[in-house]
Amino acid sequence: MKALAAAVLLFCAALAGRPGDVNDAAITGEALPPKLSDYRFFADLAAETPAARVMPYDLETPLFSDYATKHRFLYVPAGQKAGYQPVAALDLPVGSAIIKTFGYPQAGRFKPLETRLLLRRASGWVALPYVWNAEGSDALLKRAGTRIPVTFTDPSGAARSISYAVPNQNQCKDCHALAGAIAPIGVKARYLNHGGQLEKLRAGEMLDRLPADAPRVARWDDVRAPIDARARAYLEINCAHCHNPAGAASNSGLFLELGRRDPVAFGIGKRPVAAGRGSGGRDFAIAPGDPDASILVYRMESTDPGVAMPELGRATVHKEGVALMRQWIDSMPKSAPAR
């Protein structure tokens, strides 16, 4: 009897791993851990002090999410490495996790609202949203998502009050689905390749190789970079997770990956298909030389749920992003319309 109890305890301890390490069983198990702290990604969760093999990173050009500040971390389990990929997302082994905390500076301090997890299980990726408690001590699983009223100051100094949307588990998949399966978006070599991040992953034995010619996207707000490269990087990271032939917007025929070369496919002279009032009475996704006649600009400038793009996670207009799109479209020669 005592022996049995001890065996159970031992079994539990084995599942939980050693204190101080990430709880690998929480990542790979079938359960949905109710608390963010259950994973032990952080030695100090409130201070976001990462545990071993939990690497902070950022993206050269990020997804706009209502001006939220995002803290991103990648975990690859001991003895394993991510497989380098030149175009696709890094090939992350079972047991890996991507951790992304969203929040806003409040009274000079970062206040987390939610943390989204992508867990690489044997059966594939699982996406889970966790919502922080008021004290900022832990976050709780909220599969159905929620809304949180937030007031913050945008980069132009304007105060904004929004109903911040924490996505539900299905909405995670809306953006992260590729041919029906959940997939990471941002952890691609070209988005990570700055500030020595890939080198750090390699040095930390978390990446299997790092070619000298690893690609790099333009920074969307780097005024020294070519406007076309900045605009296409912005469109890819903000839109292409749905707008690709295997994504949620495949039926639109509008495909915004960086490598897409057919002008109609990435919007030039492309008529709307199922846009409805999202067209704003305009004829083309992109009307070269004429941002005010371009549906893309209309939908980015709207916050109406039936019109706004992206459909999720945008209750504010990204003024600086719109300005980039306008400048890009303006720079295109007004050509004769197709055929």
Partner 1 sequence: MPRIWTLAALLVASPAAAQTVTIEAGPEAQERLQAALIEAKPGSVIRIGTGRFELTDGLSLDIDRVTVRGAGPDKTVLSFKGQLGAGEGLLVTSDHVVLRDFAVEDSKGDGIKSKGADNIVYKNLRVEWTGGPKETNGAYGVYPVSSTTILIDGVTVKGASDAGIYVGQSEQIVVRDSTVSGNVAGIEIENSRHADVFGNVATGNTGGILVFDLPNLPKMGGGDIRVFRNRVVDNDQPNFAPKGNIVASVRKGTGVLIMANDNVHVFDNDLSGNATSNVMIIAYPQKYEDAKYDPLPRRIMVSGNRHGRAGFAPQLPGADQLVAAFGGSIPPVLWSGAGDPASLRVTDPVPVLSMGLAPGAAPETAKPAPAKLAGAAVAQPPAIVLPAAMEAAAK
The residues that touch partner 1, with contacts defined as CB under 8 A, are 1, 4-5, 8, 143-147, 163, 165, 168-171, 173-174, 177, 180, 245, 248, 250-251, 253, 264-265, 269-284, 295, 304-307, 311-312, 315, 337-339
Q: How far is the CB of 4 from partner 1 (least distance, A)?
A: 7
Q: Which is nearer to partner 1, 184 or 272 (CB)?
A: 272
Nearest residue to 151 via CA among 163, 167, 139? 163
Q: Which is nearer to partner 1, 16 or 55 (CB)?
A: 16
Q: How far is the CB of 104 from partner 1 (least distance, A)?
A: 18
The three-point CA angle 240-65-114 to 5° equals: 120
Q: How far is the CB of 169 from partner 1 (least distance, A)?
A: 5
Q: How far is the CB of 150 from partner 1 (least distance, A)?
A: 13
Give dist(CA 161, CA 163) in Å, integer.
7
Q: How far is CA 5 from the centre of its chain?
A: 44
Q: Which is nearer to partner 1, 76 or 150 (CB)?
A: 150
Contact 130, 102 (CB under 8 A): no
Q: How far is the CB of 300 from partner 1 (least distance, A)?
A: 15
Q: Which is nearer to partner 1, 13 or 46 (CB)?
A: 13
Nearest residue to 204 via CA among 333, 77, 39, 17? 77
Give dist(CA 197, CA 94) in Å, integer.
22
Contact 142, 129 (CB under 8 A): yes
Q: Which is nearer to partner 1, 75 or 130 (CB)?
A: 130
Q: Which is nearer to partner 1, 55 or 315 (CB)?
A: 315
Give dist(CA 286, CA 159) in Å, integer.
31
Q: How far is the CB of 307 from partner 1 (least distance, A)?
A: 8
Q: Is omega for the bond preceding 245 within 30 degrees of 0, making it cis?
A: no
Where b means 16+ CB within 10 Å and e means fewer, 57-75 reads bebbbbbbbbbbeebbbbb
Give dist(CA 60, CA 205) in Å, integer.
22
Q: How far is the CB of 73 from partner 1 (least distance, A)?
A: 25
Give dist(CA 112, CA 128) in Å, integer.
16
Q: Which is nearer to partner 1, 41 or 130 (CB)?
A: 130
Give dist(CA 77, CA 93) in Å, integer.
8
Residue type, 55: M
Q: How far is the CB of 198 from partner 1 (least distance, A)?
A: 34
Q: Which is nearer to partner 1, 96 or 279 (CB)?
A: 279
Q: Is 306 strand, coil or helix?
A: coil
